[in-house]
């Protein structure tokens, strides 16, 4: 069977992340509801909601500039750029795999967050602007955490390329239980909980405006613009899950060749791993309560401390 061109595989990575992201979000919501004794939404409900939003009319606040209309599409484009730089389906680097490291991917995700913040500011709505301000304030702590995690990666692998780190983890079980690697992975997981608005930072099932962060920013968007923001949020979650799974925690199941069967199995593997991680996230959502707003800084500071400890364990030896 002839191999798929590597350029087509790179496009398939984006397509898999794009199409699977609503499935993972819907699966987490369904599992969480079952754990709480509720029937909950259907697993495919997110797809229906997106289709409904795309079919609605777009209403813009008075005085909104062109940035209000462009920001959702720009942020969505940023989220779709990152899957071209990280190992989603293959263990070997694709043509664009070496054009951006983890720093580059983090910068693109930060740029997407900036566009969403701009879109919220353009609405003039108090709740949307307040949620955007909170997000940027807490990001002042979480972004240094990512930098320290990347620094730990660089010290372990002598590079910050995600494909190289994944290969290092696959080289032997000793790499997985390395203390610095475990600390950096835990710090990254805490950052993902913050970035995806999960408990203990935020709850997806609550509608208390005064406590919203991620869920409050698209308050004044409607129609296709709201659909892009929702789909972009789910895509960001899937991208972060892929980084955690295929780079840090479980970089197995990826294709070593570009044959169609290997690529199909790799696509099923990453979706399956993301769903299993979703079960763990749902468990966390049910085991803990939402933190008070002023306590969130302590949560993200704990992630920062774990990242610092990862650096120290490497420098002190044995890490």
Residue 9 CA to residue 114 CA, distance in Å, equals 29
At 206 the pLDDT is 57
**Domain assignment of residue 1, yes or no:** no
- Which range marks the domain in which residue 108 is found? 6-315
Q: Look at the chain and report how many structural domains it folds into.
A: 1
Residue 174 CA to residue 192 CA, distance in Å, equals 25
Nearest residue to 232 (alpha-carbon basis) of 111, 150, 63, 96: 111
Q: HSE, CB side, 13 Å, CA atoms: give it for residue 191.
A: 31
pLDDT, tens only, 233-263 = 999 999 999 999 998 888 889 998 889 999 9
pLDDT, tens only, 22-66 = 999 999 999 988 888 888 889 999 999 999 999 998 888 877 788
pLDDT, tens only, 154-199 = 777 777 778 888 888 887 777 778 888 888 889 889 888 888 878 7
């Amino acid at each position: 069977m002839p191999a798929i061109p590597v350029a087509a595989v790179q496009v398939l990575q984006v397509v898999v992340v794009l199409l699977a992201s609503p499935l993972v979000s819907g699966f987490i919501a369904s599992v969480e509801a079952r754990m709480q004794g509720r029937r909950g939404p259907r697993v495919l409900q997110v797809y229906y909601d997106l289709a409904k939003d795309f079919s609605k009319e777009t209403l813009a606040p008075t005085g909104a500039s062109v940035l209000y209309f462009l920001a959702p599409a720009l942020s969505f484009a940023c989220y779709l750029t990152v899957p071209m730089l990280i190992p989603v389906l293959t263990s070997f680097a694709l043509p664009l795999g070496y054009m951006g490291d983890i720093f580059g991917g983090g910068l693109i995700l930060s740029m997407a967050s900036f566009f969403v913040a701009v879109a919220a500011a353009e609405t003039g709505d108090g709740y949307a602007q307040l949620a955007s301000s909170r997000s940027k304030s807490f990001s002042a702590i979480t972004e240094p955490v990512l930098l320290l995690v990347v620094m730990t990666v660089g010290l372990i692998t002598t590079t910050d390329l995600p494909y190289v780190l994944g290969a290092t983890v696959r080289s032997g079980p000793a790499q997985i239980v390395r203390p610095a690697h475990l600390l950096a992975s835990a710090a990254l997981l805490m950052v993902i909980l913050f970035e995806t608005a999960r408990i203990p930072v935020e709850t997806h099932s609550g509608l208390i405006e005064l406590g919203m962060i991620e869920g409050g920013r698209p308050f004044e968007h409607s129609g296709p613009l709201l659909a892009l923001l929702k789909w972009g949020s789910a895509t960001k979650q899937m991208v972060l899950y892929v980084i955690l799974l295929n780079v840090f925690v479980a970089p197995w199941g990826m294709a070593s060749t570009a044959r169609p069967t290997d690529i199909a199995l790799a696509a099923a593997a990453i979706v399956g791993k993301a769903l299993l991680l979703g079960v763990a996230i749902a468990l966390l959502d049910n085991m803990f309560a939402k933190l008070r707003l002023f306590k969130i800084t302590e949560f993200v500071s704990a992630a920062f401390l774990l990242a610092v400890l990862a650096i120290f364990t490497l420098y002190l030896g044995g890490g």
